[in-house]
Amino acid sequence: VFWSAQVSTQKIVVLGTGGTIAGKAASAGDNVGYKAAEVGVADLLQGVPGLDKALQGRALVCEQIAQIDSKYMEWEEWRTLALRCQEVLSDPLVTGVVITHGTDTLEETAWFLSAVLDTSKPVVLVSAMRPVCEIQCVMRQREISGQKP
């Protein structure tokens, strides 16, 4: 009798849409003269301290759904995002979805997804009032000075 077991790993899926959180400025400390939606979700996650520990052995899967300033979020982006969320949430190995998003239409996106998604798994939207370059600069300063985030 021959059989093989496939090793399965639980996954958290991060879907990027752009926004201020993915913004970039000419200098790391500039939180005013930045351009939104310049950093892809995979690069955005590179700067998150302690991410490996927080994953607790789960795999992290990143996918860029959109790369826009969230004030430009419209029906097509919401539809694409909802369809992709539902698709990845149907995978039994996916334990949840995190969506990086801008603040301008965060509430509308959250409301829309709560109305159309059929899942008991968590769907978390994250955003920031400052671009990633500013956030990473503050985190690095805290690391150097020994402060906890």
> For residues 133 and 34, is the Cβ–Cβ distance under 8 A?
yes
CA angle 28, 109, 85 (to 5 degrees): 95
Q: Token digits for 147?
A: 């402060």
Q: Token digits for 52?
A: 């490996």
Given the residues 17, 20, 100, 109, select the one marked as catalytic.
Answer: 20
CA proximity to 22, closest of 133, 137, 141, 138: 133
Distance separating alpha carbons of residues 2 and 14, to the nearest angstrom = 37
Q: How many CA atoms lie within 13 A of 30 on its CB side?
A: 10
Q: Is 20 a catalytic residue?
A: yes
CA proximity to 143, closest of 22, 10, 58, 48: 48
> For residues 70 and 17, is the Cβ–Cβ distance under 8 A?
yes
Residues classed as catalytic: 20
